[in-house]
Amino acid sequence: MKEQKSIQLEHIRHWVKEALTNERTGHDWQHVTRVAKLALYIGKTENADLFIIEAAALVHDLIDAKIALEHRLEIQEVKEQLASFGVSHEQIRQIADIITTMSFRDRERRAEKPLLIEGKAVQDADRLDAIGAVGIARTFMFAGAKGNSLYGTGNSAYAHFSDKLLLLKDMMNTETGIKLADERHEFLLRFIRQFQRETSGLDCETS
Ligand code: ADP
Ligand code: NI
């Protein structure tokens, strides 16, 4: 059984890696591997089903509306691919439930039907990867890919910090997620302070 699961995970990794290697909006294979690692770390402290966590983390961004069109799949295609690797119907149902409702955009809808612990671990991991040094880097990568400006009014990269990134620390589900988010949030605040100093010219004012 254990052997079967690790073979299935190997298939999923191979498939997702191929699908997302050249994705350039910050939802790439490197993001997926960081999320899977964080989600497993969180899941181990929560006595969760680690197969569901890893599988869901690996496929979580394949259906995201924000990823480049040529990399995006329909949920049905993800389900069929998982079935072709021998993942059971019930496991596919759980994985699909997590990845279709874990996004920041779904937070209000989710309030009515909270995620199970496996979903909470993957969601925390995905949110952790949106903050800290990596989160900052991804924000500018995303903005570059979309042609958005660095800062200023409108849909700028810098506006994304207050629109979303600064809210994530208080949206963590798990104890481990909360702990990890604290350090990353502090780093966001430091970055913002310095960014404001430089963009407002405070560091080159003559007194
Ligand atoms: P989620 O799956 O939680 O909805 P997103 O797809 O919105 O996450 O975000 C993926 C990555 O792109 C994150 O690092 C996020 O901070 C970044 N991002 C999303 N929207 C923007 C934006 N408008 N400007 C800059 N970065 C963004
Ligand atoms: Ni993601």
HEC string of 105-129 equals HHHHHHHHCCCCHHHHHHHHHHHHC
- Closest by alpha carbon to 125, among 37, 13, 26? 37
Helix, strand, coil share (%) of the chain residues, nearest 5: 70, 0, 30
Which one is predicted more confidently, 82 or 109? Answer: 82
Q: Quick check: 184 pLDDT over 70? A: yes
Q: Which residue among 62, 164, 173 has the greatest number of ligand 1 atoms within 8 angstroms of its CB, and so is best to mutate?
A: 164
**Cα–Cα distance for residue pair 118/98, rounded to 1 Å:** 8
Would the pLDDT of 1 be above 70? no
- pLDDT, residue 52, reads 98
Structure token pair of residue 134? 């990596």
Half-sphere exposure of 94 (CA within 13 A, CB side): 20
Percent of the chain at pLDDT exceeding 70: 96
Q: According to the model, what pLDDT value does residue 154 have?
A: 83
CA 32 / ligand 1 centre spacing (Å): 14
Q: Tell me the average pLDDT across 98-114.
A: 78
| Residue range 139-175, pLDDT digits in tens | 999 999 889 999 998 899 999 999 999 999 999 999 9
State pLDDT tens for residues 35-88: 999 999 999 999 999 999 999 999 999 998 777 788 889 999 999 999 999 999
- Widest distance between CA atoms in the chain: 71
Atom of ligand 1 minimally distant from the CA of 61: 2
d(CA 131, CA 53): 20
Q: What's the mean per-residue pLDDT of the chain?
A: 92
pLDDT band per the 50, 70, 90 thresholds, residue 32: very high
Q: Which atom of ligand 1 is nearest the CA belonging to 156?
A: 24
Mean pLDDT of 119-124: 97
Nearest ligand 1 atom, CA 130:
14
120, 142, 151: which to mutate for ligand 1, most atoms within 8 A of CB? 142
Ligand 1 pocket by C-beta < 6 Å: which residues?
Answer: 26-27, 64, 66, 103-105, 126, 130, 135, 138-139, 142-143, 148, 155, 157, 160, 165
Tell me the CATH number for domain 2-200.
Answer: 1.20.58.1910
Q: Please compute Rg for the chain using Cα positions.
A: 18
> How high is the pLDDT of residue 145?
87
Confidence category of residue 204, pLDDT binned at 50, 70, 90: confident
Residue 24's pLDDT is 78
| Residue carrying the six token digits 């939802």 | 27
